[in-house]
Amino acid sequence: MNKIIISVFILCFTFEVCAQKYSFLPSDLKPIPSSEFQKPKQPIDLVYNEDGTRTRYAEAIKLIASQLAIPTLFVDNSGVLKALVINEKIQIEYPGIPDNLKNLGYAYGNSESDTVIIHSQGSPNLILKTWLFEKNAARLSKTVGNHFWVNVKQNQMLNLDEIKKRQLSFEETKEYVTKSSEILSDVINYFKSQNKKVYLLGASGGAFVITDMIATYGNIADGYVIMTGRLDMNEEMWIPRSKGEVWHFNKDGKTIYKADPPTSILAKNINLLQAAGTYKRYTKELEGVDLSKVIYLYGRADDKVGSLQKHEIEFLQSHGALLIASNGNHTSSSKYLEILLRLMLLD
């Protein structure tokens, strides 16, 4: 694995270089990196799209809050907020990357780094986190290293109209999950072709996509941090979900209870996607696969995907994975992220 490079994360070479790209703004204004964005306490008059067209402040804030636009605030020499520019062209910006890969995600950071950290989007979430992703990457970069970070979409995010408007079958959602694994492998293979060290990070739904990608395409990355996933989801969870029912884990991470079924087309499709992402028996799919590059964190009281069962723990250990148990629930795993990344990047 690659050595950790400790450095200060820099979004732009200087504030002035960034500001010069927007000729429609007063030249004396300086930008605040998107990773430091906070909603202004009062509306701003100068609000623009990336191409220089004016837009309304309320509309811009709505897009930003929905993670559908990347914001850059500008201040004057006194530090007073004067302008806001939003960019709705969310894609992987990297020199020479093919067009068919650009729209598969979102990138941030040092494209010249020898290390690429790919985040597998969690849940079957339909929103690609942009400036919030930057906040986390910028924070982690101060100790993990000034690397290139890529947030990769799941397939349903590329087919929003169908997911929102048409009821899918369980078999169709299985195909969606299969495509998500392919998308992840395509992005990995591209950056490997650029002679980069490529590391994967994923939690919850993203953990399942990484697991499926390894089972389907093999050990194509240089290291993995997988958090709050499962290898063999309880059948009493995924089978009812595949038929439209909803079951949840209790706070103990073991027992389950029945919840109200989804009513909207979108909610029904997301429920099916969750079943399609968890129905495989990965202790069978990964049999014989070397998992020594995998760091696997699970919660003993995971209330979303459940705690690992004994046979799952034994499988991971016997296949070389570094297994780490937390006494927390599904969301408490985030506090371990920095140390897990540092472990992954160690030689």
Nearest-angstrom CA–CA distance, 138 and 146:
9
Q: Tell me which of 87, 114, 144 is where a domain ends.
A: 87
Which has more pLDDT, 93 or 123? 93
Q: Tell me which of 29, 54, 87 is where a domain ends.
A: 87
Position 9 in a domain:
no
Nearest-angstrom CA–CA distance, 272 and 266:
10
Q: Give me the pLDDT at residue 74, please.
A: 96
User: Are both 54 and 123 inside the same structural domain?
Assistant: no
Q: Give me the pLDDT at residue 33, please.
A: 86
Position 94 in a domain:
no
Position 4 in a domain:
no
pLDDT-derived band at 123 (thresholds 50, 70, 90) equals confident
Q: What is the CATH number of the domain that holds 299?
A: 3.40.50.1820
User: Are both 68 and 166 inside the same structural domain?
Assistant: no
Tokens of 341: 């990344």
User: Are both 44 and 181 inside the same structural domain?
Assistant: no
Burial class (CB in 10 A: 0-12, 13-18, 19+), 112: exposed
User: Are both 160 and 57 inside the same structural domain?
Assistant: no
pLDDT-derived band at 2 (thresholds 50, 70, 90) equals very low
Longest dimension (CA), the chain: 63
**Residue 301 in this model has a pLDDT that exceeds 90:** yes
Nearest-angstrom CA–CA distance, 141 and 144:
5
Average pLDDT, stretch 267-273? Answer: 95
Cα–Cα distance list, 78 to 22, 74, 75, 193 (Å): 20, 11, 7, 46
DSSP string, 256-321: EEEEPPP-SHHHHHHHHHHHHTT-S-HHHHTTT---TTEEEEEETT-SSS-PPPHHHHHHHHHTT-
Cα–Cα distance list, 46 to 15, 61, 340 (Å): 19, 13, 42
Query: Using one digit for the tens of pLDDT, what is the confidence trace for 39-97?
Result: 999 999 999 999 999 999 999 999 999 888 999 999 999 999 999 999 998 899 999 99
User: Are both 51 and 187 inside the same structural domain?
Assistant: no
Position 10 in a domain:
no
**Residue 210 in this model has a pLDDT that exceeds 80:** yes
**Residue 11 in this model has a pLDDT that exceeds 60:** no
User: Are both 146 and 188 inside the same structural domain?
Assistant: yes
**Residue 36 in this model has a pLDDT that exceeds 90:** no
Q: Give me the pLDDT at residue 90, please.
A: 87
User: Are both 198 and 310 inside the same structural domain?
Assistant: yes
Q: Give me the pLDDT at residue 347, please.
A: 62
Cα–Cα distance list, 90 to 64, 104, 213, 248 (Å): 12, 9, 24, 34
Average pLDDT, stretch 341-346? Answer: 94
**Residue 16 in this model has a pLDDT that exceeds 80:** no
In this structure, are strands 246-249 and 148-152 parallel, antiparallel, or unpaired? unpaired
Query: Using one digit for the tens of pLDDT, what is the confidence trace for 280-300?
Result: 999 999 999 999 999 999 999
**Residue 193 in this model has a pLDDT that exceeds 50:** yes
**Residue 271 in this model has a pLDDT that exceeds 50:** yes
Q: Give me the pLDDT at residue 89, please.
A: 86
In this structure, are strands 115-120 and 148-152 parallel, antiparallel, or unpaired? parallel
Q: Give me the pLDDT at residue 51, please.
A: 94
Q: Give me the pLDDT at residue 294, please.
A: 98
Query: Using one digit for the tens of pLDDT, what is the confidence trace for 134-166?
Result: 888 888 999 999 999 999 999 998 898 899 999
Average pLDDT, stretch 158-187? Answer: 95
Position 106 in a domain:
yes
Question: What's the domain range around 166?
Answer: 99-345
Position 245 in a domain:
yes
Query: Using one digit for the tens of pLDDT, what is the confidence trace for 213-266?
Result: 999 999 999 999 999 999 999 999 999 999 999 999 999 999 999 999 999 999
